[in-house]
Amino acid sequence: GAVVSQHPSWVICKSGTSVKIECRSLDFQATTMFWYRQFPKQSLMLMATSNEGSKATYEQGVEKDKFLINHASLTLSTLTVTSAHPEDSSFYICSGDPPGQGGGYTFGSGTRLTVV
Amino acid sequence: QKEVEQDPGPLSVPEGAIVSLNCTYSNSAFQYFMWYRQYSRKGPELLMYTYSSGNKEDGRFTAQVDKSSKYISLFIRDSQPSDSATYLCAMSAGEYGNKLVFGAGTILRVKS
């Protein structure tokens, strides 16, 4: 099946610094990729939809200047958490929608961000 | 009212039991329905996907969609301890580039 590779899987950073998370589709071209955030014991919350070669579409309440998304190629999307603060600590997951899965996304393995 | 309702559980069953997981939804535009399995601290894994109403079987898993009732189900036969995870239903109105709307997830525990 389709594979989405996400790195890093775990990162700790100091408050005020920026962190970049990479999401790569390994065996399909991802025109669209989706970024989610998940708090412990909660479901996934869609943050933004990234489209190759254009600006991302952010969900209501998501700060576009804090969560910078770049989708420069059909296989790579990045999420940069700028000026991170402890409240940004969470589990971030990316996904793509490869063909042949009836609308089902393939998710990356997730990135656990801890801001200290 | 949420677009997708799913009982969060936890649901605890003995090994070998048949498990039934369910979701209801309110948006009649949904046409594509999926079930994901998520282990702790991992990304969700696509288990089953179906289009419109009907049944689909894959090994020990059977997915059912009843659009007239706005109700979807996932059945797991001969449940194993390795099936212990959170199961999320998801649905969308289109096949590509469309937002998936997720249920809250049901925690399943299969006891050996």
Chain A, chain B: beta-carbon pairs less than 8 Å apart? 71
B41 in contact with A, Cβ within 8 Å: yes
- Nearest to residue A49, comparing CAs of A63, A64, A34, A62? A34
pLDDT at A97 (0 to 100)? 85
Say yes or no: A80 contacts chain B, CB-CB below 8 A.
no
Asked whether residue B87 carries a pLDDT value surpassing 90, the answer given is yes
Give the pLDDT band of residue B89 (cuts 50, 70, 90): very high
Is pLDDT of A103 > 80? no
pLDDT tens digits for range B21-53: 999 999 999 999 999 999 998 999 999 999 888
Say if the Cβ atoms of A102 and B104 lie within 8 Å: no
The 10s digit of each residue's pLDDT in A105-116 is: 899 999 999 999
Residue A82 has a pLDDT of 97
Q: B88–A93: do the CB atoms touch at under 8 Å? A: no
- Mark yes or no for CB contact B49/A103 under 8 Å: yes
* Least trusted range by pLDDT, from A39-43, B36-40, B100-104: A39-43
> What's the pLDDT tens digit per position in B53-85?
889 999 999 999 999 999 999 999 999 999 999
Would the pLDDT of A43 be above 90? no
pLDDT on residue A78: 96
CA separation for the pair B78, B92 (Å, rounded): 30
Contacts of A4 (CB under 8 A, 6+ apart): A23, A24, A25, A26, A30, A94, A95, A96, A106, A107, A108, B43
Asked whether the predicted pLDDT for residue A48 surpasses 80, the reply is yes
What does residue A104 show for φ and ψ, rounded to 5 degrees?
A: -75, 135
Q: Which of A24-33, A81-90, A100-109 has the lowest mean pLDDT?
A: A100-109
| pLDDT tens, position by position, A72-96 | 899 999 999 999 999 999 999 999 9
Sheet holding A76-81, edge to edge: A4-7, A19-25, A76-81, A67-73
